[in-house]
Amino acid sequence: MAQKQNSPISAKSGFSKAAIDYVDTLLEAQAELFSATTALRDQRATRFALPAKPSSSSYDVEFDSFRGFGWSDVAYGRAHTPYRWMGRVATLMVYNQLSAGGRLQIDGFKVKRRRFLKGLTIWMDDYPVTGTVKRTGLSSWQFTGDIPALDSDKTAFHLLRFESPGHAKLSSGEESPHVSLGVSRIKIEPHQ
């Protein structure tokens, strides 16, 4: 997770810490998206060709392709299952061809509160991803949904955004982070 810079907005300005964290996460994601898009545009100007955007890909929490904000460091559950906790809001930059839309599958591991899973909303480039969430085990869950058709030629990356209706302290310690849901893998495939 990137180092968090001090926000120009503070609790003294009348905004709650949750509101400040929400805005900071979205601004950090937009800044990262802008930087990555600018870097790709600069690469296009060179003699190197960019790889074609894949129509399907998998984003595992342990690997460098998992770029976004609002996530904890990688943790491991039973049977060495990797996952990252998300705060109330988290983002992921995806490099996919989505001009025909696609299917989104999120494999989750851990839920801090059931209502966080029930109220989960997912967005791709500010368009809602409609789908269903189901529990697949005591500690695991899965979201499957449809990504709407997006203009993949105008942007280098798409921004996948997760929003939970709340978050809670991970543990009772003073420095304990606030978390909502644990995510293990995100998979994007074309419609069948």
Tens digit of each residue's pLDDT (9 = 90 or more) over 81-125: 899 988 888 899 888 889 899 999 999 988 888 878 888 899 999
In the structure encoding, which two tokens stand for residue 34, read together?
Answer: 């802008």
**Domain assignment of residue 133, given as a range:** 11-189
Q: Is residue 156 one of the residues assigned to a domain?
A: yes
Backbone φ and ψ of 21, nearest 5°: -65, -40
Q: Is the pLDDT at 1 greater than 60, yes or no?
A: no
Q: Is residue 1 one of the residues assigned to a domain?
A: no
Q: Is residue 5 one of the residues assigned to a domain?
A: no
Q: Is residue 160 one of the residues assigned to a domain?
A: yes
**Per-residue pLDDT averaged across 128-150, rounded?**
92
Strand, coil or helix: 96: coil
pLDDT of residue 123: 93
pLDDT of residue 103: 96
The model's pLDDT over 80-91, given as tens digits with 9 standing for 90+, comes to 889 998 888 889
Q: What is the CATH number of the domain that holds 129?
A: 2.60.120.260
**pTM of the model as a whole:** 0.73
Backbone φ and ψ of 165, nearest 5°: -70, -5
Q: Give the C-alpha separation, 186 to 92, whole Å.
A: 10
Please state, for a pLDDT cut of 90, what percent of the chain lies above it.
Answer: 23
Q: Which residue has the higher pLDDT, 178 or 56?
A: 56
Q: Is residue 163 one of the residues assigned to a domain?
A: yes
Q: Is residue 4 one of the residues assigned to a domain?
A: no
Total number of domains constituting the chain: 1
Q: Is residue 2 one of the residues assigned to a domain?
A: no
Q: Is residue 3 one of the residues assigned to a domain?
A: no
Element (H, E) at 37: helix 17-45
